[in-house]
Amino acid sequence: MARTCLECKQKISGRTDKKFCCDHCRNTYNNRLNRDSKNLIRNINNKLRKNYRILSGLNPNGKTKTTKMKLLEKGFDFEYFTHLYTTRSGTVYYFLYDFGYLPLDNDVYMIVKRD
């Protein structure tokens, strides 16, 4: 039985478990297959990266305070963060990799860098 490429349907020669005739067909097939999920992941990573750049730009010394308005003006999106950190006292920090922020009173935020 003749085997055919999953992408271009041409005849395949070589190994018995081979599914594609060339690297181009393999890449095209997999890119088409994963297109939707890659776009979602790419968009989320872009938002996380932008938030990270904003926090690192506002916090050159390891710990500082800023306002919610200043974060929003720079394009910060509060819905995107990588993880939460809860202290023993119950205080919740929102982290983007190694930069975190803590909501304080009157729309003030403390930005910290974790070592």
pLDDT in tens, 66-114: 999 999 999 999 999 999 999 999 999 999 999 999 999 999 999 999 8
pLDDT at 25: 95
Give the mean model confidence (pLDDT) for residues 58-63: 89
How many CA atoms are closer than 13 Å to the CA of 48, on its beta-carbon side?
15
Instruction: Enumerate the domain spans of the chain.
Output: 36-113
Residues 72 and 31: beta-carbon distance below 8 Å: no
Question: Quick check: 14 pLDDT over 90?
Answer: no
- Asked whether the predicted pLDDT for residue 37 surpasses 80, the reply is no
